[in-house]
Structure formats: structure tokens, C-alpha cells
Structure 1
Amino acid sequence: MTQLFPLPGCRLVRVAQDGPTALTLVAEAKPDHARCPTCRAISTSVHSRYRRRPADLPASGKAVRLQLEVRRFYCCDPACPRRTFAERFPKLLARHAQRTRRLAGAQARTGLALGGQPAARLLAHLAMPSSATTLLRTIRGVPLPKAPRPCVVGVDDWALRKGRTYGTIVVDLERHRPLDLLPDRSAETWAAWLRRQPQIRLVARDRSTEYARGTTLGAPAAVQVADRWHLLLNTRQMIERWLARVHPRLKLLPPITAPAPSTRRTRAYPRAPAETLARAAAVGRWEELYDDVRRRRAAGQSLRLINRETGLARATVRKYAFAEGFPRHDRRGPGRSILDPHLDHLHARQAAGCENAMQLWRELRDRGFPGTVKKVRRWLSERRTRPARTTIWRLQTPSPMAQVAPPSPPLPSPKQLSWHLLREPDDLDADAAAVVARVLQDDEAAKVVGLGRRFCRIVRSRCGAAPAKPGITTAFDAWLSDARACGVRVVESFAVSLAQDGAAVRAGLRLPWSSGQDEGQVNRLKLLKRSMYGRAKLDLLRRRFLLAA
């Protein structure tokens, strides 16, 4: 019986059934004496007895509660201020605890894995009931692990409330473990943390000016390494900013090759008149905001002042301020439809002269089409060459859709197009290659895309860190010189920012370290934060994040 219910320092007297789902273990202390917690004198004089009923780990799916016979002893030392004391069970129970140490440990591990509310719901089914508040209090009482002092760290930001409150995550890159969560992403907070770790010799970071300044203040001797993924991301963002300015001009460029004929839909089904009017009104409001931003910019207002007075997002203000025309987005192409697998059959039947929607729907139904006749009728309404016999038609001309050549494909959005422009030509499919060739007809586009691809090759090959021989300009320095003199404002600004952070960029091209581990830890941190259902205060989130690592 003692093997089934081990009780350190206690003797099991009996096991009693306490209802259909609970057990009671009656136990008492093994020794006949106890030691005074103040003077450490041994006493055998019993003053009185009382009972404690703490909860314990379940057995066979049943909740277990202990019934301990606790003795109170006289202290035999006349100089001790304590006259009586109760015997203690340090390996089994803490002072005044209502649960055993092993039960508290099991509940704490469950809370660390699941969070407060999910763990409370699960523990109720495992015969270890506890409230979410008690679990969170237990997690806060678990001591943090002691990690060796790091020498190579990565730093990145994370969102406590996206768009509002941000913090800083620090990761030990050598041991692949998170080190700390800081309450903000300011240079002062990051520098204060680094001053407490004077042994740090390398910091991998993104191109944030706050982290760069904080590292310089807190660890001036440490090597700063710019993350290569962020360098590629910043390059794509630079291309996107330039495209947002010239996109209206690029849309006027003719396609290199005529689009291949296709039986697939090239546009979505017609919208309702009310939806069309609402869309036109929304576009009109954005055009007014665009004109307002352009007027303010022409009057000499800064982007920050325009952002504060208009309430527009900073990215929107920047896009409107430097755009050559209103960035009118093309309509998106149609999404996937259950009718798409049967379009070839529909086109063939219409070419044969069949324009009966019900008849076409019956044929498609036999081919496995799961939709209704309404979808077939809507498809056919745009392609009829003569009125239907069952419909009263006004005098109208035949639909010209089959006679008009398909329009040239729309130019992708600046964000989508920036991905195509930075990829190598051999990596593009036929459609993307046609779009890139169309854009490269513009001389400025060819210059910007050439510089962007060239920098991406330098980053991916990790060359350009130091000259192979004295006097030979590195690939990165040569790129900086060409980018500064290219005549495109966006590229020149990007080159200036890279030159200001040149030491970290060269270290990133030369050394193997990066902040990729930070991105993975941020992803795990997001999962933990969202599983806590709004109770992710920084102290609790930090403790759970570090303990679950």
C-alpha cells in the first residue's frame, strides 16, 4: 500500500472510500519526536493534536485527499521564545498549504503548457481541480531557470498589442534558448540590459536604429550583425515604395507578348448596381484624401505633420506624397469557382449553338457539377448571341464579349510586383516573366530592378564583406557607390541608410550569425500569448515563456 501511496515522512494508516469519485488517505508522522523550527531542539512532549486535509495527486481517476494527524509539541528549551510548535512535513507539504508539493508541481506544469483557463478546464477532468487564478499564482511562484551567461545574443521586437505596444525579446544564439522579455523596444531599456551582461561580444539584430543605438550605448565593444533576411526584406520594401510612386505610369506600358487565348474567366461576375455605386463613392473619398495630402506636401508640411492632422496611416501618407498619380488599384481577377472544371464543355456546347441554361445544367450535373442552374444561367447571360425564348427581352444587340479580343492582363499591385522584380529571371514562370519584361521597358525601372537584384545577389552569396586584396573595392562598396549615383530618390535613400549601418551590414555578410532564432521564438511567443485569453500580462507571459523553453 505504501508503494501505491508514498508519503514522505508519514505512515499510511488506512485508505477510505469517500464517495464514488474520491479517496481519503489517513496518515500520521513516523518519528515520535519533532525539532523546534526556531532553536532546533528536539522535543517528545506532545501538547495537542489537530488534522490537516490537503489534496494530493489522483489515483485511478479518483481525487485523493490526505487526512494527516498533526501533533503540536512543547519546546523544551527555556531560552526559546516559541513555547509550542507543530511538526512539519517539508518533503510532502509546504506550511499552511492546502495541496501537496507533487500536486502543485503537476498543476504548475499543466498551467505552463496550456495557460490558466485551458489548464483549469483540463485539470477538472483529471481529478486535480484548480481555478485559473490559482494556476496563474502557482506559475508566478515557479523559480526561473538559471542559464549560463551568454556571449552571442539576438534581439528583436514583438507585439504585446499589435500596432500599439511592443516589447523586446533576447535569445542566446549559441544555446538556442530565450533569455528575457523586455517591456519596450527603446534604446535605453536595451542598453540597460546589456550593461548587466558585460561578457556579450556579438549582437545580431534587424536594422532598427533603436537597437543599434542601444547596443552602442550598452555594449560598445560588441560586434553588431545586421540580419541578412531583413536586408532582403528592406530591399523589397524599397522596390515597393518606388513602385507605389510610379505604378500609374507603369500600367500604361504595353505587354511584350499578346495574352494567350483561354476559356477561363478573366473577370468576376458583374456586381450589383448598389455595390458598384458604393465602390465608386469610396474611391472618390480616397481621391479627395490623396489630393489633400499632395496639397499639404506642396505647401511644405512634413509627413509626420500630415499624418497627425489627417489621421491617415504613415505608410498611406508616404505613398500618397510621393505617388505620381492616384494609386488606383486594378480589380482582382476572379477567384476559383466550382464552374471552372466545366468551362471547356460549356464553351464547346455554346459554340455548337446550345444556349439553353437548363439543358446545359443537366449535362453538367451528369458530369458531377454540384451547383445549381442559377450559376449556369449567370455564366450564360453574358455570352448569349440571341434572346432566350422564355424571357421578355428589350431590343438589344448581341453580346460582343466573344468578338472582342481579350484585354491585356492588369499589372499586379506594387507589393506583388516587387516580389517578381527581385527574383532571378530563371526562377520566374511564364506569366511572371511576361509582367517583368513589360515593366523593364521603362528605363528607370530597369535601373532600379538591376540594383535591387544585384544587392540581393550580394546578400545571398554573403560576399562583399571585406576586400580580397588591398585596394580592391568590395562588391558591397561598389554597389553603394552606384546606388548613391543612380538618380532615383528611393534607391539613394536606401543606400544612405545602408552606409550609415555599414559596419553591421558588412558583419552580416561576413559572419554566420543572424537573428533567425529570434523570429522562431517570437512565433512561439505569439502562440503562448494567444492561448492565455487576454491574461497575458508581461510578468506572467515572461515567466511562462522562459519556463516553457
Structure 2
Amino acid sequence: MILSSSLPGCTIERVFRHTDHLVVIAHGRRCHGRCPTCGTPSSAVHSRYDRRPADLPSMGQPVTLRLRIRRFYCHHPACRRRTFAEPLPRLIPPRARRTRRLAQAQTRIGLAVGGEAGARLTGHLGMQTSPDTILRLVHRLPLPRANAPRAVGIDDWAIRKGRSYGTLLVDLERRCPIDLLPDRSGATVAAWLRRHPSIQIVARDRSTEYARAATAGAPAALQVADRWHLLLNLRQVLERWLGRVHGRLRQLPPLASGDGRQPGERPRAYRRSAAEIAVSLDSRARRLAAYEDVRRRHLAGETLLAIGRATGLARATVRKYAQAESFPERAIRRPNPSRLDPYLAHLEQRMAEGCENAMALWREIRRQGFAGTHRQVHRFVAERRTARKWLSQPASTSTEAIRPSPIASPKQLAWILVQPLATLQPRAAADLARIRQDPEAARIADLARRFTMLVRACGLGGDRPADPASELDRWLLETRNCGVAALETFAAGLAQDGAAVRAALTTSWSNAQAEGQISRLKMLKRTMYGRASFALLRSRILIAA
């Protein structure tokens, strides 16, 4: 039942159902109206007419109001109006097709899920409207006025990845975004910082553009480099160096303690077919030709950008080939955990007894709980049965003949070097011990571990060094004279940004909140299929916060 109090300023006359919605007939309670131009009250009725705005649903049913609106005379001699409609400001604005409360509900839905998804949702909730209407309601909302921020985080976000980028600014104390800028140029960020003189802390990534912007826009503010980006940059440097020397590290022999395999784990992946090996060798030949072409051009003095344009290779691939000491072979794939692993001992025993029937073996282990298909057992048996006809191949055509024992890829090794020793899996620890046989690798591994321990200790609040700044200075001095160009360049960059790096190690400020808000912004952009305008994204990210 609908009460008269549910329609502010109106009296309900009747409620009835019409096809698939409810109709509420009502009229204004006041006996007079006030002219919106001159403010003169009047009770002289000129005429009446009906307005049919949509309202919030009732009991899951759409509701349409039939408001009987009176038109009054305005008798003020100086007023240009002769008549005016009865106002109902608490219920519905002039000339509106929906009540204020319905518009507010649709606006909140638009802020939460966007236009298209919001239109689908409102249709199910009994307040159907179009996507364009929802977006217009969102655009009409005024942006919130943020309090004067003291600590801000700055990060960039992709409007169109690889083409255009913007800047997100986050209030680190209130933990919410405070503005969205249409680009990531230093001039735009510096101008924004000048308009907010209350800023004392600026947390940012390692971008030199943002560093210059913070210096120009807020010269008195303390700049803080993000600790996560410090570790990321170190891992990227290690990966580039490992890509250059990976061929040398692959020649190092495994230690006698083993390769870190778990008990019962397969020593290698299943043997591939002759067709798969032929495809692999053909791919290697193409990569080798591209490597030799890049090396020849690089030694001739061509720039990496020119080589990339001439060969069509990605810039990262050109850099990897140009800096590599030898052809960077692809890492040998190690076997992932398999459903067959718990049953390997039984299969080996049965094959030693002379049973080479794959289907019979599959039925046996299936009774023991094996949930895989018979194909896995067929591949296992095919490598070990006495007559290997279809898998037999000369050793010279196998990729194993030209590859040394497996070792982790440069990307995996870089990740191993920045992890705490106590958290390493046996296989990762074996790879680390293996590459430490190389003196240069051992030296770099020690430097990398010291830096990561310093950053993590300062970030997690654990066993923080008594003087992190002095420890950083000692590390920079050793690293800038370590003899490895990539690491020396990294240390020089840290020294150039020394104040922000020291602030990262000695204060608790971090740019992590900005990274989290970037993830939220990406989610909002993707829910709108990447077609949202900058103004709409700005409204959603700031108002919904």
C-alpha cells in the first residue's frame, strides 16, 4: 500500500494496475502556488493538466505517476509571466520525466556499473531507461570538492595503451583519488601541484618526468620513490644482464647435490614427436638468422631503433640480441607436475616385469585413483617400451643434442635473485647455487640480495637497519664499481634520485595506494568496453570514491 507521505507535497487519490505497471493518481496539497519569477503567491487557478513522470518501482512493479498540476495566474503587474505551473520541488523538477528519487537511483546505478550494464540492470529492477540517459545523469553530477591534500601519490594510466596516457592523483591520507589528468606530461602535473600549495609529500614511481614535475610544482615537498618500483627496476636490470650471459651460465655444470627435483618427479618432459622436433628446429633456425643479422648490423654501428625498423623485430628483442654474448637459446622446458607422478613407481615396476600394454597399465592405475586419460600412459610407455619404432630418431637431430642441461630462463633467474633465500623452492635454490659458480654472477647475486633485503626490511617494518641511508650509500659505492654495466647504470640512476630513494627507506610513505586505484580505474574502463570518454571516467572515479 502506498502512503500519502511517499509523495512529498502531494495527496494520493487512487492507485490501480494498468497492464504491467502501477498508476498513482495524485495532486498537490497546497492551495496556492508561488511564481518562480517574481515570488508572488497566487491561488487563482488558470487551468489544469496531467504530468506522467516515472517513479521508483513498488513491490517489483514499475510505477507511473499521474500528477494533476494546476496552473495559476500571476497578478503582479511588473512580472513578465502571466501564468505559472504549480511547483513540486521536493518530488520532481520542472519539465522532468522522472522523479528526483528515481533519477538519484539511476545515477547511482550508472556510477556503479556504467551505461549499458546500468540500462540492463534498471530494466530488471522496474525502472527502465536508456544507456544514454544514465550517462547524462552521471555527467550532471557535480564533482566533489576535495580537502586540501597533504600527501599525494602520482601514477600514470593508459587511456589507449601505447598511444595516450593520463595521470591519477591519490590522497594518501584519505585513501581516495582526488583528480584525473588528461596526460602525463610534467607541465600538466606541475601546474596541478602549484594549485595545491598544501602538499608536503609526493609519492611517485621512478619516472623522471614526474620527478621534474614534483620539483617544479612543489619544490618544498618531500619526494618518495615507491619501494615496489625499486625492486621491479632491479629485477628488470638483472633480467637484461642474465639475457646477455645466459649462454655462458647454461654451460655451468649442475652441482652434485642434484637439480632440486622432488622425489617421484619426472626428470624431463615427455619426448616430443618427430614433427614437433622439426618445427622446433625450424623456429630455432629462423631465430638464429635474426640474431646474426642483428649482431652484424649492431657491430656496423646501426642504432637499435634503426635495426628494429629494418628487421621488423620488437625493440626488446633487438636489444637482447645486440647485447647477448652468444645466441640466446630458449630455456629447456621442465616438466610441470602431472597427474601421473604419484603412479610412476607402479608403472616403472610393471614395465620392469615386462608389461608394456599401455591400456592394461592405465586400467590398473585407474583402479588406484588415477583420473587422467589413457593418452598420458601411452606417452609414458612409448618412451620406455622395447620396440621404439615411431619415436626412434638420430641423436644428431634432437634438440637435446645441442642443448646443455636445463637451467631457468633469464626472467626466472632474475626472479630467483630477488627472492629471500628462505622462500626458495629446491629447484630454484639449485639453479641459484649453479649460477653462483660463475664469479661475476655470484658477485651480482650478492649485491641484488643485499639491496632487496634492505628495501624489504624498510618496507615491512621488520629488522630495519639502524641507518638505512648509510647502508644504501655503501651499496651504491660497491655497485657503481662492480664492473657490470647494467648494474652500474642502475646504481647511477638511484644516486641521481638519491633523496627520493632515501625517503623511501626512511619513511612509511608508499605509492601502493595509487597502484590499487589504477587497477580500479582499469576495471571501470573495461566495464565500459574501453569506449568511455575522459570526462565520464573522471566522474566515475572521483564521485564513486
TM-score (norm: length of structure 2): 0.91
**Residues 364-379 of structure 1: pairs in structure 2 closer than 5 A:** 364-379=365-380
Match of 2:417 among 408, 418, 421: 421
Matched, 1:528 2:524: yes
The count of corresponding residues between Structure 1 and Structure 2 is 532
Q: How far is 1:122 from its partner?
A: 1.6
Aligned-partner Cα distance in 1 for 2:373–2:149: 65
* Matched residue SS, 1:462: helix
Q: Is the 8 Å Cα contact of residues 264 and 341 (structure 2) preserved in structure 1? A: no
1:325 to 1:127, Cα distance in 2 relative to 1, 3 A: same
Q: Give the corresponding residue for 1:8.
A: 8
| 1:13-51 deviation digits (Å, cap 9, x = unpaired) | 1112212x3111111111121111111111222222111
| 1:72-100 deviation digits (Å, cap 9, x = unpaired) | 22211111112222122111111211110
Q: Which amino acid aligns with 2:381?
A: L
| 1:401-458 deviation digits (Å, cap 9, x = unpaired) | xxx9xx9751111111112122343332322221111101111111111111122222
Q: Is the 8 Å Cα contact of residues 255 and 408 (structure 1) preserved in structure 2? A: no
Q: How far is 1:481 from its partner?
A: 1.4
Q: Is the 8 Å Cα contact of residues 321 and 327 (structure 2) preserved in structure 1? A: yes
Q: Give the corresponding residue for 1:410.
A: 406
**Residues 215-230 of structure 1: pairs in structure 2 closer than 5 A:** 215-230=214-229
Q: How far is 1:396 from its partner?
A: 8.3
Q: Give the corresponding residue for 2:330.
A: 329
Q: Give the corresponding residue for 1:135.
A: 134
Q: How far is 1:280 from its partner?
A: 2.7
Q: How far is 1:502 from its partner?
A: 0.8
Aligned-partner Cα distance in 2 for 1:268–1:318: 31
With 145-154 and 407-416 compared, the bigger mean Cα shift is at 407-416
Aligned-partner Cα distance in 2 for 1:173–1:118: 31
Match of 1:495 among 486, 491, 495: 491
Aligned-partner Cα distance in 2 for 1:385–1:2: 86
Q: Give the corresponding residue for 2:175.
A: 176
Q: Is the 8 Å Cα contact of residues 194 and 218 (structure 1) preserved in structure 2? A: yes
**Residues 120-269 of structure 1: pairs in structure 2 closer than 5 A:** 120-257=119-256, 259=258, 263-269=264-270
Q: Give the corresponding residue for 2:462.
A: none
| 1:187-215 deviation digits (Å, cap 9, x = unpaired) | 12211211211211110001011111111
Aligned-partner Cα distance in 1 for 2:140–2:513: 28
* Matched residue SS, 2:384: coil
Q: Is the 8 Å Cα contact of residues 73 and 84 (structure 2) preserved in structure 1? A: yes
Q: Give the corresponding residue for 1:485.
A: 481
* Matched residue SS, 1:8: coil
**Residues 263-342 of structure 1: pairs in structure 2 closer than 5 A:** 263-342=264-343
Q: How far is 1:281 from its partner?
A: 2.7
Aligned-partner Cα distance in 1 for 2:146–2:299: 56
Q: Which amino acid aligns with 1:536?
A: A
Aligned-partner Cα distance in 2 for 1:502–1:240: 23
1:201 to 1:270, Cα distance in 2 relative to 1, 3 A: same
1:215 to 1:78, Cα distance in 2 relative to 1, 3 A: same
Q: Give the corresponding residue for 1:119.
A: 118
Q: Give the corresponding residue for 2:540.
A: 544
Q: Which amino acid aligns with 2:504?
A: G
Provide the identity percentage: 56
Aligned-partner Cα distance in 2 for 1:537–1:4: 42
Q: Is the 8 Å Cα contact of residues 205 and 226 (structure 2) preserved in structure 1? A: yes
With 199-208 and 446-455 compared, the bigger mean Cα shift is at 446-455
**Residues 334-353 of structure 1: pairs in structure 2 closer than 5 A:** 334-353=335-354
Q: Give the corresponding residue for 2:25.
A: 26
Aligned-partner Cα distance in 2 for 1:395–1:131: 63
1:22 to 1:544, Cα distance in 2 relative to 1, 3 A: same
TM-score (norm: length of structure 1): 0.91
1:364 to 1:462, Cα distance in 2 relative to 1, 3 A: closer
* Matched residue SS, 1:474: helix
Aligned-partner Cα distance in 2 for 1:396–1:521: 56
* Matched residue SS, 1:90: coil
1:125 to 1:256, Cα distance in 2 relative to 1, 3 A: same
1:394 to 1:94, Cα distance in 2 relative to 1, 3 A: closer
Q: Which amino acid aligns with 1:426?
A: A
With 486-495 and 77-86 compared, the bigger mean Cα shift is at 77-86
Matched, 1:459 2:455: yes
1:489 to 1:342, Cα distance in 2 relative to 1, 3 A: same
| 1:89-134 deviation digits (Å, cap 9, x = unpaired) | 1111112111101001111111211222222212111111111121
Aligned-partner Cα distance in 2 for 1:386–1:297: 50
Q: Which amino acid aligns with 2:149?
A: P
With 203-212 and 360-369 compared, the bigger mean Cα shift is at 360-369
Q: How far is 1:57 from its partner?
A: 0.5
Matched, 1:82 2:81: yes
Q: Which amino acid aligns with 1:443?
A: P
With 26-35 and 333-342 compared, the bigger mean Cα shift is at 333-342
**Residues 98-109 of structure 1: pairs in structure 2 closer than 5 A:** 98-109=97-108
Match of 1:518 among 514, 519, 524: 514
Q: Give the corresponding residue for 2:48.
A: 49
Q: Which amino acid aligns with 1:535?
A: R
| 1:221-274 deviation digits (Å, cap 9, x = unpaired) | 211111111111111111111101100110000011253786533333344444
* Structure 1 unaligned residues grouped into runs of 5+: 388-392
Alpha-carbon RMSD across the aligned residues, in angstroms, is 2.7
**Residues 424-463 of structure 1: pairs in structure 2 closer than 5 A:** 424-462=420-458
